[in-house]
Structure 1
Amino acid sequence: MEPKKIVITGGPGSGKTSVVQKLQEEGFTCIHEISRSITLEARSQGIPQLFLSDPLLFSKRILEGRIAQFKSVSKTDGPYVFFDRGIPDVIAYMDCAGQPYDNSFTDACKNYTYDQVFLLPPWEEIYTADNERYEDFREALLLYGFLKRTYEKYGYKILEVPIGTITERVTFIVNHLKNNNV
């Protein structure tokens, strides 16, 4: 049986990567965020921030990568595969930036669907900037709203993960999946 596809999403600095790493440590299959590798690849080619200099190209690369990730997990062992961000995140970021895009983006959201979406809220106490993250906390709050609306637009019932320790958040996610037969 194909594993259930579970998205962990939220604005920058909300703890997604830490939660996904903890899920992986607990033996779950996890698909990691690809935007950092695309950003670093562009930087090695002399483009300091590809999303800012060519947002459509950056978004197309992200979309292609996320579709490839989605397709790659069909034969994965275990009941769940966790994704650090999903395909609709691409549209949420583009909408937030006011960036127009073609139907390939919306078609991807309709054609590649997930079984559950967990949304991590903005959390200023843990937010930190780094070399690949250009958003400040105000922008993280704004992106959170776009993420929520975008997933809802594509028919997802989002479950917000309460603020807490990484272990508490992972326990919340796993318990919800088991208790609701996801």
Structure 2
Amino acid sequence: MTKLKPVKNLLIGGPSTGKSTVLEALSDMGYWCFPEVSREVTLEARQLGIEHLFLDEPLKFSEMLLKGRIKQFEKAEILNTHQVFIDRGIPDVTAYMDHFNEDYPNEFVKANRNYRYDHVFLFPVWNEIYTQDNERFEDLELARNLQDALIKTYEDLDYKLIEVPKSRIHDRIEFILNTIKSR
């Protein structure tokens, strides 16, 4: 009997749009979920004495993110489950780098093409739930600009973005689950 590859469902959007909250709820429901790796990278850098790795060394930060997201993708490929949910994807790295006019090696572009997600759910910026914290340096205007960069990057890679409605967590999860059932 041939093992099917898990369906990789990606959650994207600007900062503080509810992705992680929905991901945690999906995990609580028993789905296999991969959390955002940027907080882990940021905390690791702080332990090394680098307060804002993305601002101080954007290429190093992005290389670490890319490596972490590729590792998540590869692990998702071999899981024994039908659906996998991932908070932020490989193309997010180049979207951010492009937004901040930072150069990056061609391996980033190759990764965008070589690692493809099955569904991409866009969590739009939502003023009412937006918050900043120690790991989130972006203000609301920057969050909107980053969302635009993400949309452009994913659409340029021929992804069909599925916009998640601004509603209660339960409704957002129901929307996502109903969407993947119908595809």
TM above 0.5, one fold? yes
C-alpha distance in structure 2 between counterparts of 1:82 and 1:73, whole Å: 9
C-alpha distance in structure 2 between counterparts of 1:27 and 1:78, whole Å: 10
1:30-179 superposed matches below 5 A:
30-179=33-182
Aligned pair count reads: 180
**Shift of the alpha carbon at 1:27?**
1.1
Specify the SS of the correspondent of 1:159: strand
**Shift of the alpha carbon at 1:77?**
2.5
Q: TM-score under structure 2 normalisation?
A: 0.97
**Shift of the alpha carbon at 1:169?**
0.4
**Shift of the alpha carbon at 1:75?**
2.4
Identity over aligned pairs, percent: 48
RMSD: 0.7
C-alpha distance in structure 2 between counterparts of 1:166 and 1:109, whole Å: 29
Code of the aligned partner of 2:28? E
Q: Which residue in the other structure is 2:11 paired with?
A: 8
**Shift of the alpha carbon at 1:79?**
1.4
What stretches of structure 1 move > 6 A for 4+ residues in a row? none
**Shift of the alpha carbon at 1:107?**
0.2
C-alpha distance in structure 2 between counterparts of 1:56 and 1:99, whole Å: 8
Q: TM-score under structure 1 normalisation?
A: 0.97
Specify the SS of the correspondent of 1:164: coil
Specify the SS of the correspondent of 1:73: helix
What are the ranges of 5 or more consecutive residues in structure 2 without an aligned counterpart? none
Code of the aligned partner of 1:130? D
